[in-house]
Amino acid sequence: MTPDTVIMQTDLDRLTERVEKAAAIVQQLRDDRARLDQERSELAARLQELEQKLQGNDAAALVHELGQLHKDQREWMAERRDVASRIEALVRKLEKLDG
């Protein structure tokens, strides 16, 4: 083997390694793309499902309804406290009558 032949063989070996690495990278990129396409499809389906669930629901109306529900809850809690204090007062009066 001549020195030129050895150099060409070494260059050919390097080129082969580079091509194999490039092929591996391309395959990895294809796999990644397939995975990302699958994820995108799943997310698109999920988005469509959520949009269908919300269809016909006005966000402003929902926020208003939520605010009204919070107001009702506060009123009921106040009524509950008022009833509890009235019951306590009645119990004290009954205890005085018994005692």
Side-chain-facing half-sphere of 65: CA atoms under 13 Å:
6
> Do 16 and 48 share a domain, yes or no?
yes
Distance CA 27, CA 33 (A): 10
Q: What is the 3-state secondary structure (H, E, C) of 10-75?
A: HHHHHHHHHHHHHHHHHHHHHHHHHHHHHHHHHHHHHHHHHHHHHCCCCHHHHHHHHHHHHHHHHH
What's the mean pLDDT when you consider all of the chain? 89
> Do 5 and 50 share a domain, yes or no?
yes
How many domains does the chain fold into?
Answer: 2
Q: Which two tokens stand for residue 37?
A: 């396409």
> Do 91 and 76 share a domain, yes or no?
yes
> Do 51 and 11 share a domain, yes or no?
yes
The pLDDT of residue 85 is: 93
Is the pLDDT at 40 greater than 90? The verdict is yes
Range of the domain at 51: 1-55
Is the pLDDT at 36 greater than 90? The verdict is yes
> Do 50 and 71 share a domain, yes or no?
no
Per-residue pLDDT of 50-91, as tens digits, reads 888 878 778 888 889 999 999 999 999 999 999 999 999 999
Is the pLDDT at 94 greater than 90? The verdict is no
> Do 8 and 51 share a domain, yes or no?
yes
> Where does the pLDDT of residue 1 fall: very low under 50, low under 70, confident under 90, or very high at 90 and above?
low
